[in-house]
Structure 1
Amino acid sequence: MPLPSQPLRKLGFLTIGLFDEADPRTGHESTLGVIELGEQLGFDSAWVRHRHLQYGISSPVAVLAAASQRTRRIELGTAVIPLGWENPLRLAEDLATVDILSGGRLNPGLSVGPPMHWDQVKHALYPHTADAEDFSHDRVRRFLDAVRGEPVTTFRGTEGFEVYSDRVQPHSPGLARRLWYGGGSLRSARWAGENGMNLLTSSVVKAEESEDFAEIQLALIRTFRAHHPDGERARVSQGLVVIPTDSATPSQRAKYREYAEKRTPRTREPQGPGRLLFAPDLVGTSDEIAERLYAHAAFREVDEVAFALPFTFEQADYVQILTDMAEKLGPALGWRPS
């Protein structure tokens, strides 16, 4: 197994937080339990996906607010909040509030663009302003300005007994440095760098100049850092689906491999008009996965990861996978638990 050029500095995981429509509380409680387990195992960060009008977490801000009161150390992130569904000023208020409650542990990840199934949902989401909504990077810039403490109103001062601020309150000074952009294209990577954000690069990229996943992801990382004020020190987190099997039962191993095999065809060529390319899921012992990661050109450029948990597994599977990640895979990558 090749030696890493440097040890993995931060190990995180990502969960979608599925639930049963007839019993949503159990699913949400299970997600909180997984985050608590992550802290106990020494993970540096836990991230939740954002799913609107599905049976996954529709309000990561609320879920992470709850998680912040059940944990003390682990960082809490979103991967990612689609900003097209949000009012940037109001989201800035919510995230700043949760960051204050968490003691400065929030890592909000964002993306931009029209909401999924826009034509079907726009009349419910923006009934009077759908045609006027701006889903460009300017929407993210409005959010960044609000989080960074720029004025959002021309009025401030005292009116009667009420005192008004001209910027978002509460203001959390460190939050702006922990904002991430989920980018899968060269344009997005460049924009995130130019605007001083951190970069989340996942298991999905846009095939623009190549059809080799690792090559594409490497280009994203280098483009981002080439345009970021911090250069090579700019933070990038890589998210791949990783399933260690060290302590898995024979039936779990069979299920994991079947899951990965069903998803493999989409990794062979770009998908759809957007030419999206998916990374293969990594299934095997921790030593086998570490060897494949060290051979991955993009992985060699990062020192922090947020490995994605598979969507549809059972709670016992997640416990086994997270335990092996923390106790086997992490150390194989030079990481040490917090």
Structure 2
Amino acid sequence: MTKNIGFLSFGHWNPSPHSQTRSGSDALLQSIDLAVAAEELGVDGAYFRVHHFARQLASPFPLLAAVGARTSRIEIGTGVIDMRYENPLYMAEDAGAADLIAGGRLQLGISRGSPEQVIDGFRYFGHQPAEGSDASEMAREYTKILLQVLEGNGFAEPNPRPMFANPPGLLRLEPYSEGLRDRIWWGAGSRATAEWAGEVGMNLMSSTLLTEDTGVPFHELQAEQIQRFRKAWADAGHPREPRVSVSRSIFPITNDQDRAYFGAETRSTDQVGHLDGGNARFGKTYAGEPDRLVKELAEDEAIAAADTLLITVPNQLGVDYNAHVLESIVADVAPGLGWR
């Protein structure tokens, strides 16, 4: 099965001399350089995580626009934007502009978000859940507004004496990018939220973490999540086929540097922990010689069920090393699995 392969960068930076990414400027500029390098290697997607109040990538749209301007083929996206922090109308304008700059290559991953660096950080951004609601519901309401305005229908009453002439009828947000509504992904951390994404007509983005645990291996639980999403999508009667992505940490070991960095991860297994007051299951890291990785990845049921695989990259090891990892996956691993 042909599979889209992208990278997902959290954009960590640290002033430590051991880091290749020591400032916010480094994180942003190296993200652009890695996207350019990935496109040259034949990688299909460049995705970036969004975390507020952290030494990581935060404001995505300037970065996405810059990557879009420097590349011509690769999909560009987020994994994911925390909707608790967003003004959905302003976000729709930013997303439309970035998508037009990129020529329609934006794949926008959004969600309720992950545990934060600060307590209720969204409140500092001016967002307050309505009485009787909570932050998760607020994120879903913002998402519904975003999806609605991305349809491109007019909704705002025009001024009868505008500064500039208006087209007839109610006004929509501009710039409008045709087709962007179909390229919105929901980062689902559970089976229930995946079903909700299918109901409202968003693609599914699932990571190396699920905020629930049924005792089965991570990839089996995630495969069930994908199956439930697809059923909810079909039951809702959406006209197009949805897309599904999963994230994995995959490190082919082809030289001594790889072995020094990730040799210990060859014994990696799933982990179960506590997150947001409940059990959570974390997927394992795949590390080993390419032929071993081919055998192990072939048994991953969730990867088999997805059309897109996002490779999480250790961005503080620098652009050259991460390009090496991606090249090895594309050249040494993907062909053995029939992905290329």
**When the two structures are superposed, what TM-score results if normalisation uses the length of structure 2?**
0.86
The CA deviation string for residues 265-311 of structure 1, in whole angstroms up to 9 with x for no partner, is 7x332434231211001011222112111111212212321121135
What is residue 242 of structure 2 aligned with on the other side?
234
What is residue 137 of structure 1 aligned with on the other side?
140
1:161 aligns with 2:168: no
Determine the C-alpha separation between the residues in 1 that align with 2:317 and 2:114.
30
Alignment of 1:102-181 (within 5 A): 102-112=102-112, 116=116, 119=119, 121-126=121-126, 130-132=128-130, 135-155=138-158, 159-163=162-166, 166-181=171-186
What is residue 14 of structure 1 aligned with on the other side?
8
> What count of residue pairs does the alignment treat as equivalent?
323
What is residue 19 of structure 2 aligned with on the other side?
none
Residues 111 and 182, structure 1, Cα contact 8 Å, conserved in 2: yes
Determine the C-alpha separation between the residues in 2 that align with 1:157 and 1:291.
66
Alignment of 1:1-338 (within 5 A): 7-20=1-14, 23-112=23-112, 116=116, 119=119, 121-126=121-126, 130-132=128-130, 135-155=138-158, 159-163=162-166, 166-228=171-233, 229=237, 233-246=241-254, 249-258=255-264, 264=268, 267-272=270-275, 273-310=277-314, 312-336=316-340
Deviates further, 115-124 or 140-149? 115-124
- Residues 1:302 and 1:161: Cα distance change in structure 2 (over 3 Å): closer
* Cα distance, 1:49 vs structure 2: 0.9
SS of the aligned residue for 2:328 comes to helix
Determine the C-alpha separation between the residues in 2 that align with 1:278 and 1:213.
7
SS of the aligned residue for 2:7 comes to strand
The CA deviation string for residues 247-282 of structure 1, in whole angstroms up to 9 with x for no partner, is xx3133122134676xx57x3324342312110010
The CA deviation string for residues 172-210 of structure 1, in whole angstroms up to 9 with x for no partner, is 111111111100211110111011111011101122544
Residues 252 and 328, structure 2, Cα contact 8 Å, conserved in 1: yes
Corresponding letter in the other structure for 1:65: A
Residues 76 and 107, structure 2, Cα contact 8 Å, conserved in 1: yes
Determine the C-alpha separation between the residues in 1 that align with 2:148 and 2:160.
21
Determine the C-alpha separation between the residues in 1 that align with 2:295 and 2:339.
15
Corresponding letter in the other structure for 1:181: W
| Identical pairs, percent | 28
* Cα distance, 1:223 vs structure 2: 0.6
SS of the aligned residue for 1:331 comes to helix
Determine the C-alpha separation between the residues in 2 that align with 1:206 and 1:185.
6
- Residues 1:149 and 1:231: Cα distance change in structure 2 (over 3 Å): closer
Q: CA RMSD in A?
A: 2.5
SS of the aligned residue for 1:140 comes to helix
Corresponding letter in the other structure for 1:142: I
Residues 112 and 139, structure 1, Cα contact 8 Å, conserved in 2: no
- Residues 1:102 and 1:136: Cα distance change in structure 2 (over 3 Å): closer
* Cα distance, 1:11 vs structure 2: 1.4
**When the two structures are superposed, what TM-score results if normalisation uses the length of structure 1?**
0.87
What is residue 3 of structure 1 aligned with on the other side?
none
The CA deviation string for residues 38-70 of structure 1, in whole angstroms up to 9 with x for no partner, is 100011111111121111111121111001111
Deviates further, 310-319 or 271-280? 310-319
Instruction: In structure 1, list runs of 5 or more residues that go unmatched.
Output: 1-6
Deviates further, 50-59 or 89-98? 50-59
SS of the aligned residue for 1:109 comes to strand
- Residues 1:116 and 1:18: Cα distance change in structure 2 (over 3 Å): closer
